[in-house]
A and B are shown apart, each in its own frame.
Chain A
């Protein structure tokens, strides 16, 4: 298990848990980052991490991404 911020560009993971504040957790889940969902990392360098979940592309700040735990699939 890794924080989402550690995943390399092009890799995929399955969401395990989110340990952010209530508001941020809710927002992430509404965007589709719910436990069990597959997440693909489209871009991850030093700034925000860009991911795709349930067909939606969005950018999330590094700090936020580091609070999303994922299981690496590929």
Chain B
């Protein structure tokens, strides 16, 4: 039997995603819309013997094809001609959410309206005459609560009825555009390709679609001249009037509430002084808590600074990544024993136990932070706090050609750049997303913090200087992140981002269930997409480090990696680090930055990374140089893989790597040579 194609459309914040998850039961597949970085969610479900494929269209306020999401949604409806278009509207905000519904029904007839949040509407004393709405719009209107699972069966039945042509409209909705009608009629007579004639005529008058020929152009001119008003404003106003009339006739409010909790909260959150402080504090605390659960950072650093070394280690080893690490160490050991016992060649034993299982462990160590980040981000977005924080921080980020939404990737990047790059999805502007994604690795992550800490301890005796070195690297990182975003926009010749225009939806309690579904689907997507690249690249790097011209080598100084390191030494000597061992450590750090310390330990034969770095003959000047290079030289493998799977173009990844390499070497060389000139060592 043929599959029924169902598309979900709706404005942002009407609960469309919740409904999507409710219908598909979390059986969701994540992909990208062709050619763009926008996520595409798809799922399938069986209902009363029929197979339904459900596609979640991007949330949009209209269908004018001016921005990416609108274009994707519009193209899908026109080209795929879904069997049913479900338009989700918010029963508590009918005036707002019916606008898109009306526009969509003017385009397409096979529509079912899902009147969501009906429970909340009841509670607020909003009474809706469903039959009246159905009559007024000519399509089935089904009251539901996606969150509570109310009315879903009825909605599914309505979907089947419309799919089978037993209910719903036979042709698109006609809104009365009064004085414009004669121009619409004239334009409808022309050829509009795939588009329905009346709809295309409206879009041409709105100037959302370009006039096809001279004739269309002159009809538009005529309309503009005769009416002495922009047709755009007339069309939009008529749609709003159509919505107002339907709402007036079918909705009664019995309760009028006084200033709500919401208004009082908004007074605080949107306050010019307290707003940024409160939102930064709330959001940062949320992330620092999940960072701590994940690896112990930054709580472990705090404890260590207070001299509580042991407590700090306990936190680290019982953190999620700590536990995963021990598990994979056990696995690697057990598999090595097993493989040796069956007489496998030592090279293969070590390749499988260290190279492959080690890489798998490294890959899985990203899973907890990804899930946690998705949960917190989802909760922030869902609760309504996210757009408010982005609003109050907007003017700061504007100075660097970014919008307030850039705050999230920057903040999350402190924990780990991988979820930081993924968090750029919250941005509406595709270009801003690319610019921030490329600049993200300049934010020092916690893996680099660990290395930075060891370098500062090794190179400087005074705790004050150690702390100021670390703090300066962080401030420098954030500054370069901002400057690089600005610079990239200029290089690419992209205009400043369009001005902020963002709805601040009512605060509400986030649905954990939906957030969990999304986190799960996206983490699986990450493992499939970025995971394979990470596994492959890190196994390859392991081979370079452990194989030389003579085959498998115990001592890294006979490996291919050593030869490569030797070749890099002359460049590194510009920054005072002309020693193959630094080069080798930096190569290992490409897999994961923590690897730098274990390489130093291995080379020095000392388990303590601080004394291992001292053994390298580090001086304060070289320490600063190493700190600069290590912090900014190249994103780690996982970050690069994520950048590739999120930004989807190799040239952006190449740009990021080149930018980082040059910035780090230039900074380190300048600081080293300046120091030498000043007579420091």
Contact = CB atoms under 8 A, between A and B. Distances in A.
Interface of A: 18, 22-32, 34-36, 42-43, 45-48, 50, 54-61, 63-64
A63 B499 CA distance: 7
B236 A58 contact: no
Given A22-B207, A23-B66, A34 B233 contact: yes
A34 to B, nearest CB: 5
Contact of B394 (A25, A34, A47, A57): A47
B131 interface: no
A55 B95 contact: yes
B208 interface: yes
B11 to A, nearest CB: 10
Interface in B139-177: none
B272 A46 contact: yes
A29 B498 CA distance: 16
Contacts of B398: 61
A26 B394 contact: no
Contacts of B93: 55-56
User: When A and B form their complex, which 4 residue pairs have the shortest distance between CB atoms, in order from nearest?
Assistant: A61-B499, A45-B272, A47-B395, A61-B500
Given A26-B232, A56-B503, A43 B270 contact: yes
A24 B501 contact: yes
A35 B237 contact: yes
B188 interface: no
B587 to A, nearest CB: 45
A48 B237 contact: no
Nearest to B272: A45
A47 B500 CA distance: 10
A57 B207 CA distance: 27
B502 interface: yes
Nearest to A45: B272
A30 B500 contact: no
Interface of B: 61-62, 64, 66-67, 93, 95-96, 99, 206-208, 232-233, 236-237, 240, 266, 270-272, 387, 391-392, 394-395, 398, 498-506
Nearest to A60: B501
A58 B503 contact: yes
Given A23-B498, A26-B62, 8 more contacts: A29-B232, A30-B62, A34-B233, A35-B237, A48-B391, A54-B95, A58-B502, A59-B504
Given A31-B61, A46-B272, A54 B96 contact: yes
A59 B387 contact: yes
Contacts of A56: 93, 95-96, 503
B66 A26 contact: yes
Contacts of A50: 266, 270, 391, 504
Contacts of A61: 394, 398, 499-501
Contact of B501 (A27, A54, A55): A27
Contacts of A27: 61, 66, 501
19 contacts: A24-B501, A25-B232, A26-B64, A26-B66, A27-B66, A27-B501, A29-B236, A30-B99, A31-B503, A34-B236, A34-B240, A46-B395, A54-B95, A56-B96, A57-B505, A59-B394, A59-B500, A60-B499, A63-B499
Given A35-B233, A59-B504, A24 B270 contact: no
Contact of A30 (B236, B499, B505): B236
A60 B395 contact: no
Contacts of A30: 61-62, 99, 236
A27 B62 CA distance: 8
A73 B505 CA distance: 25
Contacts of B62: 26, 30
Identify the interface centre among B207, B208, B232, B499: most chain A CB within 10 Å of its CB. Answer: B499
A39 to B, nearest CB: 14
A25 to B, nearest CB: 7
A60 B272 contact: no
Contacts of A58: 501-504
Contacts of B272: 45-47
A57 B66 contact: no
Contacts of A29: 232-233, 236-237
Contacts of A57: 266, 503-506
A25 B208 CA distance: 12
Contacts of B503: 31, 56-58
Contacts of B67: 23
A46 B500 CA distance: 14
A45 to B, nearest CB: 4
A59 B95 contact: no
B236 A26 contact: yes
Nearest to A35: B233
A28 B99 CA distance: 13
Contacts of B240: 32, 34, 54
Nearest to B241: A34
A59 to B, nearest CB: 4
Contacts of B505: 57
A26 B398 CA distance: 23
Given A46-B272, A56-B503, A34 B391 contact: no
B310 to A, nearest CB: 46
A64 B392 contact: no
A27 B99 CA distance: 12
Identify the interface centre among A31, A35, A64: most chain B CB within 10 Å of its CB. Answer: A31
A46 B276 CA distance: 13
Contacts of B506: 57
A22 B64 CA distance: 12
B395 A31 contact: no
A68 to B, nearest CB: 11
Nearest to B96: A56
Contacts of B61: 27, 30-31
Contact of B391 (A54, A55, A59, A64): A59
Contacts of A63: 499
Contacts of A54: 95-96, 240
Nearest to A32: B240
Contacts of A34: 233, 236-237, 240
A43 B499 CA distance: 17
A45 B237 CA distance: 30
Contacts of A26: 62, 64, 66, 206, 208, 232, 236
